């Protein structure tokens, strides 16, 4: 039942003080709309509808959510409490500066803390999400080359294991995308990189640890080669959780980074947003940062607009302040000691779970994992039973856990990308490994059970082909 089907004409969910007029004065008939086809419900009906919907979701607070590359860690409740304080939530973004000193101080401290954590010189909190952080970074790189009259740099090099946003962003910024192959160890193939670097190279975009969950141990050499070719090195912060307090992108040669506050710094994923993707840069890119950022002088904290070389605004106002506030609260909760523990336990959990699963699944790269790892469904199972990774993922849902990220990265067949995060207990990891074992046994014993899964979820497998062929994208009255 949709909210539209529940509608009954005349019901009201909100009452407001009476208006004096019945239509806006002075507007001509031709300027007015005829009707507004929205549903009409009382407050309790609306609450039951949406509470009912919420119960059809898996979520971190419901159960294990090992979705690789997404860092589905626990979201501390204090963050939510603080974000709802009227002293933050009820601030207009254009209020006089003297009335928002606490908010500006928080942003200023967060800029400084993120610079310290990533090893960069300057930070802008403006980008609204990771993909927008990438866009900001790549546009800054474009502006940097242009400012140096270095106008032939039209290519961005991206590993074949990269997240899809990397090539999409480079393309949106007007660059040609050049894919760089991975080597047998799952790292960037240095020879392939050397062959593709050159006078056309504007940038190399990397995630480290990579999307395979492996630390790029040639990073210093990659940075040297990139810089020698005249390009800049971009750090996709998707996997920063693994190296907090252990290693800083800025110290390994990266010129620009983005950080996902909704991954590493515990701001809730919200069913797909809002995210927040601050960018950090080395001094040579600072003039290109989007404004406003927050500065401090003896009179207090101030919004500082971008200079003449700034790429301009990425979105309205100053970014997703509500997310800055949660990330700030998290960083203060953990401190330098806690953040280091995060990386250690995230990596410990990934390696421990890999250890529990390695005899049952195919491990394409036998190396130390960082915060996540990639495994495949054994070929033998697929060949003998016809069961695929997708089926295993669906069957896992019947056991009350979310499935890993599947079929990514694209360079591993039948991939399952598993990221347990630091907030899961040893028992949870062991229970998950046992569930995977059960499903793999079942795949052999009763493949139909797995191929037709899930069986116990609010709906079963959905007809995606029909959804695309006959798009039903909105309510229409019968």
Site for another protein in 209-238 (CB under 8 A): 214-215, 217, 219-220
> Is position 151 an interface residue for another protein (rule: CB under 8 A)?
no
Q: 237 forms bridges with which residues in the sheet?
A: 259
> Is position 274 an interface residue for another protein (rule: CB under 8 A)?
yes
> Is position 172 an interface residue for another protein (rule: CB under 8 A)?
yes
Nearest-approach distance from CB 304 to another protein, in angstroms: 15
Instruction: Pick the piece of the chain touching another protein (CB under 8 A) from 197-205, 226-234, 373-381, 468-476.
Output: 468-476
Instruction: Name the residue nearer to another protein (CB basis): 65 or 383.
Output: 65
Closest CA to 165 of 154, 177, 153, 155: 177
Q: Looking at 199, 295, 307, 335, which residue binds another protein (CB under 8 A)? A: 335
| 90/85 Cα distance (integer angstroms) | 8
> Is position 181 an interface residue for another protein (rule: CB under 8 A)?
no
Closest CA to 60 of 436, 301, 420: 420
Q: What count of residues does the chain have? A: 478
Closest CA to 218 of 229, 233, 231: 233
Nearest-approach distance from CB 376 to another protein, in angstroms: 18
Nearest-approach distance from CB 6 to another protein, in angstroms: 9
Nearest-approach distance from CB 219 to another protein, in angstroms: 6
Q: 417 forms bridges with which residues in the sheet?
A: 374, 405
Please provide the DSSP assignment of 283-331 as one string. Answer: GGGGGG--S-EEEEETTEEEEE---TT----SSSTTS-HHHHHHHHHHH
Instruction: Pick the piece of the chain touching another protein (CB under 8 A) from 14-22, 226-234, 278-286, 412-420.
Output: 14-22
Nearest-approach distance from CB 321 to another protein, in angstroms: 4
Instruction: Name the residue nearer to another protein (CB basis): 55 or 383.
Output: 55
| 151/147 Cα distance (integer angstroms) | 9
In the region spanning residues 396 to 415, those forming contacts with another protein, defined by CB under 8 A, are 397, 402-403, 405, 408
The continuous run of DSSP H or E covering 390 comes out as helix 389-397
Q: CB neighbours of 424 closer than 8 A, spacing ≥ 6?
A: 64, 349
DSSP 236: E
Instruction: Name the residue nearer to another protein (CB basis): 189 or 236.
Output: 236
Number of residues that bind another protein (CB under 8 A): 197
> Is position 37 an interface residue for another protein (rule: CB under 8 A)?
yes
Closest CA to 69 of 340, 203, 269: 269
> Is position 3 an interface residue for another protein (rule: CB under 8 A)?
yes
Quick one: tokens of 87?
Answer: 């002293």
Q: Looking at 298, 359, 366, 468, which residue binds another protein (CB under 8 A)? A: 468
Mark 91-130 with x for binding to another protein (rule: CB under 8 A) and - for no binding.
xxxxxx-xxxxxx-xx------x--xx----------xxx
């Amino acid at each position: 039942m949709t909210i539209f089907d529940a509608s009954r004409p005349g019901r009201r969910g909100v009452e407001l003080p009476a208006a004096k007029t019945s239509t806006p004065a002075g507007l001509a008939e031709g300027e007015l709309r005829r009707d507004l086809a929205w549903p009409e419900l009382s407050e309790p009906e609306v609450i039951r509808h949406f509470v009912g919907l919420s119960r059809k979701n898996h979520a971190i607070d419901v159960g294990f959510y090992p979705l690789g590359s997404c860092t589905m860690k626990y979201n501390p409740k204090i963050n939510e409490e603080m974000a709802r304080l009227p002293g933050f939530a009820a601030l207009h973004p254009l209020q006089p500066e003297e009335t928002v000193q606490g908010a500006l101080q928080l942003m200023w401290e967060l800029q400084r803390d993120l610079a310290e954590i990533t090893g960069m010189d300057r930070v802008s909190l403006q980008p609204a999400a990771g993909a927008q952080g990438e866009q900001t970074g790549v546009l800054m790189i474009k502006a940097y080359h242009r400012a140096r009259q270095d106008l032939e740099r039209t290519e961005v090099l991206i590993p074949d294991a990269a997240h899809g946003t990397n090539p999409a962003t480079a393309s949106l910024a007007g660059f040609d995308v050049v894919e760089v192959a991975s080597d047998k160890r799952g790292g960037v193939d240095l020879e392939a990189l050397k062959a593709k670097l050159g006078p056309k190279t504007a940038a190399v975009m990397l995630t480290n640890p990579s999307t395979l969950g492996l630390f790029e141990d040639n990073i210093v050499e990659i940075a040297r080669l990139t810089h020698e070719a005249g390009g800049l090195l971009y750090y996709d912060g998707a996997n920063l959780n693994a190296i907090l307090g252990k290693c800083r992108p800025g110290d390994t040669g990266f010129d620009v980074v983005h950080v996902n506050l909704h991954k590493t710094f515990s701001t809730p994923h919200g069913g797909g947003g809002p995210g927040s993707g601050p960018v950090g840069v080395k001094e040579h890119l600072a003039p290109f940062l989007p404004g406003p950022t927050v500065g401090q002088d003896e009179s207090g904290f101030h919004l500082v607009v971008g200079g003449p070389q700034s790429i301009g605004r990425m979105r309205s106002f100053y970014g997703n302040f509500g997310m800055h506030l949660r990330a700030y609260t998290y960083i203060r909760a953990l401190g330098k000691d806690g953040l280091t523990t995060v990386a250690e336990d995230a990596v410990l959990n990934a390696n421990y779970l890999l250890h529990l699963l390695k005899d049952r699944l195919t491990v394409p790269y036998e190396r130390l994992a960082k915060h996540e790892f990639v495994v495949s469904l054994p070929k033998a199972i697929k060949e003998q039973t016809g069961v695929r990774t997708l089926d295993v993922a669906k069957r896992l849902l019947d056991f009350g856990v979310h499935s890993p990220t599947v079929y990514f990265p694209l360079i591993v067949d039948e991939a399952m990308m598993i990221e347990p995060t630091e907030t899961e207990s040893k028992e949870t990891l062991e229970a998950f490994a046992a569930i995977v074992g059960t499903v793999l046994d079942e795949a052999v014993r009763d493949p139909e059970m797995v191929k037709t899964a899930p069986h116990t979820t609010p709906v079963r497998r959905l007809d995606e082909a029909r959804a695309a062929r006959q798009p039903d994208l909105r309510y229409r009255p019968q």
